[in-house]
Amino acid sequence: MTLAEEFRARNWSIYGQWAGVVSMILCFALGIANIFNFTRPLLIIFSGICLASSFIILFIEVPFLLRICPTSSKFDDFIRKFSTNYMRAAVYAVMSLVQWLSLIIHGSSLIAAAVVLLITAVFYGIAAARKDEFMSSKTLGGQGVAQMIV
């Protein structure tokens, strides 16, 4: 199945997965950009959380990395908890909420991360409400990629 065919499948979990990739890139970039804000030290904490979120999203959305990266079994079990649409919607909603809370300290570009994380949570929430079967994109290391490499 090609990428275009995956998007035409009208499965909201695919849209959520690709929105998650955008979230990961945005969290990484904004986490680094805001971590050097020395005038507001508490904003550095939220930037660090945003940066850490990008790495968690990376392992959630690209399942192939759990096989090739040396990670602990505890971390692998933690990431595998997010294999359903409901759990992914919940984890993205929590990450979004944390970034929204950064507005209490000071308005910054972290709000963009909060918005995109919320959009991703909504996509996964729609997939869960529609009872769409979780479908992982082959482009991102979903079903069948491991067999192709071995």
Closest CA to 94 of 130, 133, 60, 131: 60
CB-CB contact of 124 with 12 (8 Å): yes
Q: In sequence order, which residues have a C-beta less than 8 Å from that of residue 22 and are 6 or more positions away?
A: 116, 120
Q: Rounded to two decimals, what is the model's pTM?
A: 0.84
5-62 residue pLDDT tens: 555 667 788 888 889 999 999 999 999 998 888 788 888 999 999 999 999 999 888 8
User: What residues make up the domain containing 120?
Assistant: 3-149
Please tell me the total count of domains within the chain: 1
- Our CA dihedral for 12, 32, 56, 18, rounded to 10 degrees, sits at 20
